[in-house]
Structure 1
Amino acid sequence: MIDLSEVLETNRMVEEENLDVRTITLGISLLDCADDSVDACCEKIYNKITTLAHDLVRTGEEISREIGIPIVHKRISVTPISLIGASCCHTTGDFVKIAQTLDRAAAAVGVNFLGGFSALVSKGMTPADELLIRSIPQALATTDLVCSSVNVGSTKNGLNMDAVKLMGEIVRQAAEASADRLCIGPAKLVVFCNAPDDNPFMAGAFHGVSEGNAVVNVGVSGPGVVKYALEQMDRRARENGGREANFETLCQTIKKTAFKITRVGQYVAQEASRRLGAEFGIIDLSLAPTPAVGDSVADILKCIGVEQPGAPGTTAALALLNDQVKKGGIMASSYVGGLSGAFIPVSEDQGMIDAVNAGALNIEKLEAMTCVCSVGLDMIAIPGDTPATTISGIIADEAAIGMVNQKTTAVRVIPVIGKRVGDSISWGGLLGHAPIMPVNTFSSERLVNRGGRIPAPVHSFKN
């Protein structure tokens, strides 16, 4: 059992090193809300969310005050809506109506985001799946808090290239539909391979069908804490007359720090689940950066030894970081899940933005880094005239990495209408700001238009 005294040891981490609990996410099953009538379905959804999540924000604020650690976001994830709307949604407008209901429910309980306007289509698409996917641009353009995700592949099933092609078109349409809002639509849309059922982080969170009725998942953070620990480690080594610490010492430092961070998350999850009367699901150990200076995964990579993220050795440094965070975290919590490791979003990490502006980091190097990190190509702004087939090609590449390596990968790129390479875009808040990054201009059209499914890799045949 964890007690409050362990958490109070982390006060300095909060005051000086940007430690926070990034999110308490309440997963809610909507399986019992399905109905033949879209209006009845919407009413059931609204009533269930506002009943179960009524005290979520208040509970998070109370725990935050008691332990003196910020809990930045309170969020909700729900069962993939393509499943809930399968019986009653016969047009894209029907699914948009459900999205707007979700938005109203999220606003009523005061959460920051609600995820689960989702479809799981790694092997094929039902009519309901396709309708939901085609409704995404309008759904995201007419809501504020709803986030969407589509899983287009898995190690077990291979890649659904029909869905990959469609998602390239949907990402562009989502940007166009929200052009008057800085193309915010694609910033709330994630395309996954091997999506987990218990991810507390947006925009990709949904409540898996194997989960309970109401489940609390907590996402911890703390890149600034790890950075500070590494700086202190090297300072002590130099003061003792030696060189900078070797990799053994470096790894031990990251593991110990990850353990402390995760214990905070464990306490928050236990308290939140007890007070909300919900199951305790998982702790997600991911180091999730913010635009705040010093709260950066990129800065950790620089502490490990690369001049800028993107320099030779960056992928090795990120692999080390990801692995040690997981090794330290799994000793601190009974249940670790979600994504867990290190996020490398561009717009949300000032160090990554600096590396892009310095010419050290491009999309191809980011793709290489995603082979060893938690998610994938995240919050990357690209030119507004990028063809849909090129976006589909980027999705296919990233999904292939996940499929072959038996890991979660994802793409969240934002084609910013009217912007070119050299321009920038600012969304503010946690989404931050980003330079418009160049993409390879050679065509992916023939590849994307073949259709069908890329088979699962040979090592998937286990039973």
Structure 2
Amino acid sequence: MESEKILETIHMISDENLDVRTITMGISLLDCIDSDSDKACQKIYDKITTKARNLVKVGEQIQEEYGIPIINKRVTVTPISLIAAASHDQDYVKYALTLDKAAHTLGIDFIGGYSALVQKGYQSGDKTLIKSIPEALAQTDLVCASVNVGSTRSGINMDAVAEMGQAVKKASELDFMTNAKMVVFCNAVEDNPFMAGGFCGVSEPDTVINVGVSGPGVVKKALEKVKGASMDVVAETIKQTAFKVTRMGQMVGAVASERLGVPFGIVDLSLAPTPAVGDSVAQVLEEIGLEQVGTHGTTAALAMLNDAVKKGGIMACSHVGGLSGAFIPVSEDAGMIDAVNAGTLTLSKLEAMTAVCSVGLDMIAVPGDTPAETISAMIADEAAIGMINNKTTAVRVIPVPGKKVGETVEFGGLLGHAPIMGVNPASSADMIHRGGLIPAPIHSFKN
């Protein structure tokens, strides 16, 4: 029986695109705070390159020994707005350059944490960081940025929403690809190993290892064996598959934790697609019975998929966290791209789907002349879904200068390519210009 399970896992890896998408080391920078920004940056560089010096080597050893592909090795750090505020600098780009230098030294894929948490208002470093995001991302290769503008407990900071629309617009003018490294959140989590939204929360240990698994191809193959069965059987099949995938992630995390001498944090069991054939969340939904993702029934199928993945994962590992569900990034999912090109998947439908999946409007390319206020309004809508439903939502939208609806933009690598999607032409500017705070919903008052 044990040999059958081993062979089954080998088959999942070789034929069904099963992988560990990332092992991510979280590193607290709270002990690097200094009123002299040059000293702070040196402390940051020294701590990151010391704590994570063996991260890539250990990841490669585990991959070679166990035959499990580990696609990315990443680092997350304490939100830089908290660290840089002590310096009173008027520009935090030097902190981003320090993170980038450390990431290149380590040989990792990305470093996340050029971030600010402004859901209830601004602290001294927040506005400085947000203002610097476009320039910081344009000047770095591996740095990822995120800003949390809302939460169920505190409502939505509409001043920050307006500012982030402007930041996205400015970033697209400097280099539209920088927006692939920037996420705007509601209810951001502190232990997310995925980019571009990962950061190391202040309640995390000094260092910690978090693992992100994937496997939409594995789920699709499992569902091919239960064609025509009831939805109960479909849900049970997804649960059992998620259990196996999560077990693998837990093993990798435990081994990495032991070898690096760092506490094991969580397994994020999100189904993260890639542009590769057979590695698509959209195709999982179509295997459930949709002719094409985006048609009526898509939201229901996605809700069941997300819930079944969580149920299977939570049984496999007592430390499940991060985002844990299904990602629906348009550019990174071949089935999503096909559906947009066919006209069955629209921004409105994607917004509805975000109410029941892991994150939100992700890796969506829009015309370059989209107003900043429209982007802010998209952020506000997603934040509202997250706030009301007490879940994480996010926006990673990419205005592409010179591109119109129906054209295509190439991002390359795991980011794939994306059709330019149309946005509603009616203005939301007057609402966005109001600013202020959308109050938290009544169910936030639980004490």
Q: 1:145 aligns with which of 128, 142, 147?
A: 142
For 2:277, the equivalent position in structure 1 comes to 293
Structure 1 segment 175-214 matched on structure 2, within 5 A: 175-178=172-175, 183-214=176-207
Distance 1:152 1:7 in 2: 45
Output the amino acid matched with 2:358: S
Deviation, 1:8, is: 6.2
Q: Is the aligned partner of 1:267 residue 2:264?
A: no
Shift of residue 89 of structure 1? 4.0
Deviation of the 1:177 alpha carbon: 1.2
Amino acid at match of 2:181: K
Identity %: 66
Q: 1:302 aligns with which of 282, 286, 289?
A: 286
By how many angstroms is 1:233 displaced?
Answer: 2.0
What residue identity is the alignment partner of 1:41? A
Instruction: Say if 1:283 and 1:336, in contact at 8 Å, map to a contact too.
Output: yes
CA distance, structure 2, for counterparts of residue 7 and residue 459 of structure 1:
46
1:37 aligns with 2:22: no
CA distance in 2, matches of 1:12, 1:434: 31
- Alpha-carbon contact 1:151-1:192 (below 8 Å) kept: yes
The aligned amino acid for 2:46 is N
Q: Counterpart in 2 of 1:120?
A: 117
Q: Give the SS at the match of 1:422.
A: coil
SS in 2 for 1:341: coil
C-alpha contact (below 8 Å) 2:37/2:89 kept by paired residues: no
**Contact 1:83/1:128 (CA < 8 Å) preserved in 2?**
yes
In structure 2, the partner of 1:56 is: 55
What is the correspondence of 1:40-439 to structure 2 with a 5 Å cutoff?
40-92=39-91, 95-178=92-175, 183-234=176-227, 244-439=228-423
Moved more, 71-80 or 121-130: 121-130
For the residues of structure 1 that align with 2:97 and 2:348, how far apart are their CA atoms?
37
Q: What are the residue-to-residue correspondences of 1:439-454 with 2, within 5 Å? A: 439-454=423-438
How far apart are residue 262 of structure 1 and its match? 0.3
How many residue pairs get matched? 446
Partner AA of 1:90 in structure 2: D
Cα distance between partner residues in 2 of 1:5 and 1:88: 58
CA distance in 2, matches of 1:168, 1:416: 14
Residue 238 of structure 1 is matched in structure 2 by none
In 1, are the aligned partners of 2:366 and 2:400 still within 8 Å (CA)? yes
CA–CA separation in structure 2 for the residues paired with 1:382 and 1:162: 23
SS at match of 1:229: helix
> 2:115 is matched by which residue type in structure 1?
S
Deviations, residues 25-62 of structure 1 (Å, cap 9, x unaligned): 00000000010111000100000000001000010010
Q: Deviations over 1:321-362 (max 9, x none)?
A: 000000000000020000001000000000000000000001
What SS is found at the alignment partner of 2:225? helix
Distance 1:308 1:100 in 2: 43
Task: Extract structure 1 runs of 4+ deviating beyond 2 A.
Answer: 3-9
Gaps of 5+ in 1: 235-243
Deviates more, 1:451-460 or 1:422-431: 422-431
Q: Distance in 1 between matches of 2:195 and 2:46?
A: 23
Contact 1:7 1:263 in 2 (8 A): no
Q: Distance in 2 between matches of 1:50 and 1:139?
A: 20
Paired residues of 1:370 and 1:377 also in contact (CA < 8 A): yes
1:116 and 1:447 map into 2 onto residues whose CA distance is 30
Q: Render the CA deviation track for 1:59-106: whole Å, top value 9, x for unaligned.
A: 0010011111100000000000000001114212xx100100000000
Distance 1:365 1:251 in 2: 23
Where 2:423 maps in the other structure, the secondary structure is coil
User: When the two structures are superposed, what TM-score results if normalisation uses the length of structure 2?
Assistant: 0.99
**C-alpha distance in structure 2 between counterparts of 1:206 and 1:6, whole Å:** 35
With over 3 angstroms needed to count, the CA separation of the structure-2 counterparts of 1:273 and 1:6, relative to structure 1, is farther
Structure 1 434/63 Cα, relative in aligned 2: closer, same or farther at 3 Å? same
Preserved contact between residue 8 and residue 67 of structure 1 (Cα < 8 Å): no
The one-letter code matched in structure 2 to 1:285 is L
Q: Are the aligned partners of 2:365 and 2:399 in contact in 1 as well (CA < 8 Å)?
A: yes
Unaligned runs of 5+ residues in structure 2 are none
SS at match of 1:306: coil
| Post-superposition CA distance 1:254-297 (Å, at most 9, x none) | 00000000000000000011111111100001000000011000
SS of the residue corresponding to residue 374 of structure 1 reads coil
Given the superposition, is the C-alpha separation of residues 408 and 111 from structure 1 closer, same or farther in structure 2, using an over 3 Å criterion? same
How far apart in 1 are the matches of 2:19 and 2:136?
Answer: 31
Inter-partner Cα distance in structure 2 for 1:409 and 1:134: 22
The answer on whether the counterparts of 1:216 and 1:278 sit within 8 Å (CA) in structure 2 is yes
After TM superposition, the score normalised by the length of structure 1 is 0.95
The residue number in structure 2 matching 1:240 is none
Q: CA deviation at 1:454?
A: 0.2
Quote how far apart the aligned CAs of 1:127 are: 2.9
Distance across 2 between alignment mates of 1:175 and 1:115: 20
The alignment partner of 1:102 has SS state of helix
- Inter-partner Cα distance in structure 2 for 1:299 and 1:459: 36
* Counterpart-to-counterpart distance in 2, 1:34 and 1:382: 39
Q: Match for 2:37: what amino acid? A: V
Question: Structure 1 residue 6: deviation in Å?
Answer: 6.0
**Contact 1:75–1:114 (8 Å) recurs in 2:** yes
> Aligned equivalents of 1:173 and 1:322: distance in 2?
34
